[in-house]
Structure 1
Amino acid sequence: MTDTPIRSASTLIILRNFASRPQVLMGQRGSKAAFMPNKFVFPGGAVDTADSAIRLAQPLTDRCHANLQQDSTGPAPETLAVAAIRELWEETGLMLGALEAWPDAPEDWADFAKAGFRPSAANMYFFFRAITPPGAPRRFDARFFLVNADQLSGDLDDFSNASDELSHLQWVCLDEVRSLNLPFITSVVLGELVGMTEIGAPNSVPFFKNQDEESLFLRLQGL
């Protein structure tokens, strides 16, 4: 039906003020973007080959690791986590890492290491997965990770080191976020956040498995 390749991608859902009035970090894609132009999305993007060479300071939970491996022949769970952290840093300038010397950091991570950090998946939870339906100009097998903004380093309102890939970076209250121009799948992910009582590893992970032959809604439960 389609020859569009499916690339692996990683996304981070960052929640702030979870115990009072939760906010989520969103940014708007450009009007000329080939994929989801003008839409407000979470920070994220495609996995790069080099992501597999980066060692995490702290690993994913066993449950998240197992859920990421279920029904997957793509990148290793650690690579997917690194990609999400890298995309967050590139698109927002915010760092998710642990204090650790990193003298041999690759050039692309030099500023991250200079700040004294190495990427860390501690308190970072696999939350959702979706494959872009057939017919889209680009298709991704996207894994969404959830993290409390308390785990980030630096000023949460300072996006001065962000790239220009996302504009209008902002913290949006969960009860107001649906007023934005959102992709369908982003709205579905936001719906999963409603009623959540804590930020942690879910027992099972929703998976929209859109294939050429059929579309399925599954729940990944690797443990």
Structure 2
Amino acid sequence: MSEAPTLTRKPEGPPRVPGAKAVRPRSAATIIIVRRDGPKPKVLMGKRHGGHDFMPNLWVFPGGRIDRSDYRAPHATDLRSEVAAKFSRHLPLHKGRALAMAAVRETFEEAGLLLAKPVPARTAVGPWREFLAEGVAPDLDALDVIARAVTPPMVAKRFDTWFLLAEADRLVSLERKPDCGELEEIAWIEFDEALQLNLPAVTRTMIREAVERLADPDRPSPFMRFKGRGWATTHL
């Protein structure tokens, strides 16, 4: 079995004000979507706008923070039992599903792609209005958990991020709908080429982790946190 991944670079983002208490990490989730219809697998990535104060001009996976609406929005399929169990060992009831919903919603908002299945049309308000207007609801059964990482305390913006994996053939279509503009460029990129991009340290680590997971679906899911003066890795 391969060794657990490590992070060797300093985290990107504005540093915490000297003397200030560490901010509480915000709950977030992101999806590594893999496309396998070519000679080599490709991963969906987008480039963040240069005007962002957090990770400007870096390539990332689509995803974002959890919203209250993610707890109550409808879904076409639920998390697989083993995925739900992995969430429930670490999170309050229903939060794992809400994180998965957040990742699916943000993928639509940022990349214009729907990880979903058709459902009867319904109206909604708030962040889910445009998603549900497409006549679909999230396909949570398509998701697997591959890792979790918490931003170190010396950074002003911190996230407790769950990294999920899904196959591109579970998307409604590979044709993108107009995105929200948070990502300047969006592309399907071969894994070895993706590692040559300008990436956050954690994204680089997760690309390598995804490659390992594709080769070994039973690989344990790492949980990376900053302790003392360096990264500590356990498993979910």
TM-score (norm 1): 0.88
Residue 211 of structure 2 corresponds to: 194
Q: 1:62-113 CA distances to partner (integer Å, 9 max, x unpaired)?
A: 1111111223358611101100001000001111111111424334323322
State the shift of 1:172 in Å.
Answer: 0.6
Residue 152 of structure 2 corresponds to: 133
Closer, same or farther in 2 for the Cα pair 1:214/1:182, shift >3 Å? closer
Structure 1: unaligned runs, 5 residues or longer: none
Residue 169 of structure 1 corresponds to: 186
Is the contact between residue 178 and residue 187 of structure 1 (CA under 8 Å) also seen in structure 2?
yes
2:223 is equivalent to residue 204 of structure 1: no
Whole-angstrom distance in 2 between the partners of 1:213 and 1:65? 32
Whole-angstrom distance in 2 between the partners of 1:108 and 1:207? 29
SS in 2 for 1:122: helix
State the shift of 1:178 in Å.
Answer: 1.0
2:139 is equivalent to residue 123 of structure 1: no
Whole-angstrom distance in 1 between the partners of 2:120 and 2:228? 46
Is the contact between residue 47 and residue 59 of structure 2 (CA under 8 Å) also seen in structure 1?
yes
Structure 2: unaligned runs, 5 residues or longer: 1-19
2:76 is equivalent to residue 57 of structure 1: yes
SS in 2 for 1:175: helix
Whole-angstrom distance in 1 between the partners of 2:64 and 2:102? 8
State the shift of 1:54 in Å.
Answer: 1.4
State the shift of 1:35 in Å.
Answer: 1.3
Whole-angstrom distance in 2 between the partners of 1:189 and 1:62? 23
State the shift of 1:61 in Å.
Answer: 1.2
SS in 1 for 2:156: coil
TM-score (norm 2): 0.83
Residue 15 of structure 2 corresponds to: none
Whole-angstrom distance in 2 between the partners of 1:36 and 1:15? 23
Is the contact between residue 13 and residue 147 of structure 1 (CA under 8 Å) also seen in structure 2?
yes
SS in 2 for 1:31: coil
Q: 1:112-166 CA distances to partner (integer Å, 9 max, x unpaired)?
A: 2232101120221111110001111200000011001111112x253x5111101
Whole-angstrom distance in 1 between the partners of 2:91 and 2:126? 30
Whole-angstrom distance in 2 between the partners of 1:171 and 1:3? 36
Residue 162 of structure 2 corresponds to: 143
SS in 1 for 2:161: strand
Closer, same or farther in 2 for the Cα pair 1:34/1:199, shift >3 Å? farther
Is the contact between residue 90 and residue 162 of structure 1 (CA under 8 Å) also seen in structure 2?
yes
Closer, same or farther in 2 for the Cα pair 1:69/1:215, shift >3 Å? farther
Q: Give the CA RMSD over aligned residues.
A: 2.3
